[in-house]
Amino acid sequence: MNCLVVEDQTILLDLLASVVGSFAEILNVYKADCIRQALEHSKSQALDIAILDLALPDGEGSALGEHLLQHHPAIKLIILSGSAQQFICPTSLEAAIYGVIDKTDAFEALRHCLNSIIQPVHQQLTGRQQQVYALLGEGKSTKEIAVILGSSPATVETHRKAIAQRLHLSGAELIHAATLNQHVDSID
């Protein structure tokens, strides 16, 4: 999946892109700090998700959303606003909007919206695999995980291999993905 993040505050733009990029299912994250840049990405890239700030220096995010929906009919939109309670959704965007997020609650709400759209593979792991995945993300070794879970190192290694296979990752990629997921969870 490809995601476009449009936000005029650079720090928030980078943080949002980092959160979105932590999902293994997201192949590319395109960043834009204005409508002009967003339109350039829209012309040159296939987009599946767009996270749009409503107030941009060169126009309204809702107008950009309508443009994106015309050019990418299956796109899913998430709206960001400093005053989300006052947002009145244009009728033309109702089916495409998966969430309206107040920037003060941005990270928790963004992860919730993205989870409903993407349904991350790591959430489809068994309970024990999720425990192992979380502990890997904390930097624990196979032996440390075995002690924590009361299992043998061989059992933990079997879980690691099953997780890597399900997520289509190598050993090193698995550690990286688990660490990123743990980091994003700690932001919430």
Q: What integer is the mean pLDDT of 144-153?
A: 94
User: Do the beta carbons of residue 53 and residue 80 sit within 8 Å?
Assistant: yes
Residue 178's pLDDT band (cuts 50, 70, 90): confident
Residue 166's pLDDT band (cuts 50, 70, 90): confident
In the chain the domains, ranked by start, together with CATH numbers, are: 2-118 (3.40.50.2300), 121-187 (1.10.10.10)
Region at 170 (left for phi over 0; alpha for psi -120 to 50; beta for the rest): beta
pLDDT given for residue 121 in this prediction: 64
User: Do the beta carbons of residue 129 and residue 163 sit within 8 Å?
Assistant: yes
Residue 159's pLDDT band (cuts 50, 70, 90): very high
- The residue type of 29 is V
* Alpha carbon 108 to chain centroid, angstroms: 11
Residue with tokens 């994106």: 68
